[in-house]
Structure 1
Amino acid sequence: MYNLAQSPKINEISLSLLCDFYDSYLNPYTFQYRVLDTSGDKPITFTVNLKFDKENFCHLLAIEKIVQRVKNSTELKQFKSLDGWNNVKNGTITIPSLRQKPTKKVFNNNKDKYVFFYILPKLLDN
């Protein structure tokens, strides 16, 4: 996915593929940015460290948001944090499962996150 020249179609990707991509191109790295803030009287330079922990994967793809109206609080735990990560890795959570009624509309509202996910490492590098 990293070398794609154009965005894939949603039917060409899977959560497992996105998970592996995240594991290879985002999770192992800390992205560090030096920022100059000139909004005050005296310029301030500070560093921002951005990490992509496995427990944030489901949040970035709005997986919990997609199912939150149809799952109770106990079930919802399986769609976020490390439980969600593990359920994507083991195939319990898939794009087809998120696209089914009654979650299809919410999934479609968040579909761009899946399709354009491959751009994230390049965006962070630039």
Structure 2
Amino acid sequence: MHLKSIRYNLGLLSRKFGVSPGILKQIKFFDAFKNQHRIMGEARVIFDVGAYDGRTVKEYRKYYPQSRIYSFEPFPRSFQKLKDYKATTRDNHLEIIQIALTDKDGPVTLFSNKLAVTNSVLPLSKGAV
């Protein structure tokens, strides 16, 4: 559902700004991971902040199979999905921590959104869902 809505929104943007639909077909959702690997090379440690359900770990594993990954996820439902992911994959190089990382010490407000993947310590902009 999430990827479908991204494609729909990309279609709207292509019509609004005149971007060729053919270009949009070349966009891959997780190209950023491949690009990170090209730029940074090997990484011994990766911090996955706002890990959600483990999908970022899955992508990082393609390029960094031996790296130790620390995944931080404060939201209980998402953290449970992350725990389930770890149990399923039996990834011994994955540490999952149920905590929010911020630039401030102390308690923080968590903002739960309609799409769990967009949950954040930052409030939504006015009119966003």
Q: TM-score, normalised by structure 2?
A: 0.27
* Structure in which a larger fraction of residues adopt helix: 1
Higher relative contact order (CA 8 A, sep 6+): 1
Q: TM-score, normalised by structure 1?
A: 0.28
